[in-house]
Chains A and B, each alone.
Chain A
Amino acid sequence: MSDPVRELYQAIIVDHSRAPRRRGPLPGATHEATVDNPLCGDRVTFRLIVDGDRVRDAAFEAQGCALSLAAASLLAERVAGAPIAEARALIARFAAFVREAPGAPIPEQLGDLSAFAGVREFRSRQACAALPAVAFERAVPPLP
């Protein structure tokens, strides 16, 4: 039988939590939002530079658990350079995905983010993985 803890903390998640990409300030940010998870004290700030209909650059700052850090890191990598509509769709898909039933089909568009499949077994931790997605959704400008 597989070990749910190992399924949760896959190598890519551990890697991104220990050495997050795109963590830090973002000079010239045009949009930002901060969200807290009062349950665990996690806090994520997402910042974007939006240029026309694209996210030209993205970065985050966070205090948090391995799951929220890894999710912020992977999400920031994916949205940087993406069209806003695409980034928004991806983030919404990811936020929904982490709360789906364990074993539900994994949407192809998630790519590396599918490493979070294991969190679907861990109800109390889904909010951790989703926290950066919430921050992104609040930061991103409304569609024209």
Chain B
Amino acid sequence: MDPSAWRGDFPALHQEVHGHPLVYLDSASTSLRPQAVIDAVVQVYARDAGNVHRGVHALSEAATAAFDAARAEVARFLAGSPDEVVFTRGTTESINLVAHAWGRGAVGPGDVVVATALEHHSNLVPWQLLCAERGATLRIAPIDGSGRIDLTGLAALLDRRVRMVAVSHMSNVLGTVAPVAEIARLAHGVGALLLVDGAQAAAHLPVDVGALGCDFYAFSGHKVHGPTGIGVLWGRARLLEAMPPWQGGGEMVTSVDLQGARFREPPYRFEAGTPDIAGAIGLGAALAYLGRIDRAAAAAHERALHRRLLAALTGLPGVRVLGRPELALAAFVVDGVPAHDLATILDRDGIAIRSGHHCAEPLHRQLGLSASARASLAFYNAPDDVDRLVAGIARAREVLA
């Protein structure tokens, strides 16, 4: 198997950690950035350093052109329209934006929001807050033994009081993929909307918001090889148009007097203040990079690595993989080696994994665990990374024996 044709594009991979070449198996936490993204961000600060949508001078015009081009790049990535692309700080803020701007108008006493048992805290807590504030109820759809959303169980929760169904496109713990188009049909069948948390999926699956049939799609720049601090909310134009602002300030108004203001059209209505210009342009560069490489080859390479990872982990005595991961990651527990200690010991071998509950505490509680270890892949990983992980787990068992 090829070590990976793309490794050279990612400078952060080429460093030593505690005297060992880095093995980066934490891309589900944050993915590394190709040089093209770093260059794009540097160029914003080093040259096109003006503010956007304000100045008439050259630096502002250059920044505005690059910022608008980034929004167009995001729209292409999602197969949506640029006026449906709202820049946010990340998936978490995207979901909070919907919970505030849409939720406060659309969800009232006795109404229902449905989420699932595998959600990341970012697709759970905003709905808990909304429901508490509005006197609504949060219902939780169950998952089956392999870690997939139980569609029958989900359908049983749906009735005319349900206003929103919120699901992760891909689980950040179990690596399972939600049948989004089917869930969209179920949700729309009772008059509810569907919000998809795409934080994990966007790096691994094609995202075509029309084909998925969702009403909102949220993802983060830093999990698709872009900068941290930038993310996207895609929303259907007619929904965004009907939503009031959630934060007030500059950029989002058409005119202001001392007693009131008139608000701009989406997406600007939801982007108060100077945005993360470099972040958005860096995100555009990341998506352009993903558009330039042979994504089919990259996806095939990643799938082969994932098979190797699952085979290696399931072949180790005393190791149990959680659920049946379909893509890019595996969460697991090792007998006699708490996840946090495993991560510490692996780190000293130069291997980066995640340990803890991965911001999915209710899911871990349901699995009877307080923590797990998680190894996650990107197309820049090499087969040797998996082999070093296996050797590291063996060493951790020795240390704690």
Contact = CB atoms under 8 A, between A and B. Distances in A.
Q: Do A and B bind?
A: yes
Interface of A: 3-6, 8-9, 14, 17-18, 39-43, 63-67, 69, 122, 124-125, 128
A65 B339 contact: yes
Most buried by B among A3, A9, A14, A128: A9
B340 A42 contact: yes
Contact of A14 (B339, B356, B361, B400): B400
B191 interface: no
10 contacts: A5-B344, A6-B399, A9-B399, A18-B336, A40-B355, A40-B371, A64-B370, A65-B371, A66-B340, A69-B338
A125 B400 contact: no
Main secondary structure of the interface of A (DSSP, over half): helix
Interface residues of B, number: 19
B169 interface: no
Contacts of B341: 9, 65-67
A40 B371 CA distance: 7
A41 B361 contact: yes
A69 B341 CA distance: 11
B295 interface: no
B364 interface: yes
Contacts of A43: 370
A124 to B, nearest CB: 8
Contact of A4 (B348, B357, B370): B348
A122 B361 CA distance: 25
Contacts of A125: 340, 344
B99 interface: no
Contacts of B344: 5, 8, 122, 124-125
Nearest to B349: A5
A17 B355 CA distance: 18
Contacts of A69: 338
A42 B370 contact: yes
Contacts of B340: 40, 42, 64-67, 125, 128
A127 to B, nearest CB: 10
Nearest to A6: B399
A16 to B, nearest CB: 12
B375 to A, nearest CB: 17
Interface string B370-399: 110000000000000000000000000001
B338 A39 contact: no
A67 B370 CA distance: 15
Contacts of B356: 39-41
B392 to A, nearest CB: 11
A5 B361 contact: no
B177 interface: no
Most buried by B among A6, A65, A69: A65
B19 to A, nearest CB: 10
A7 to B, nearest CB: 11
A37 to B, nearest CB: 9
B400 A66 contact: yes
Given A6-B399, A65-B341, A66-B340, 16 more contacts: A5-B345, A9-B341, A9-B345, A9-B399, A39-B356, A40-B340, A41-B356, A43-B370, A64-B338, A66-B337, A66-B338, A66-B341, A67-B340, A124-B344, A125-B340, A128-B340
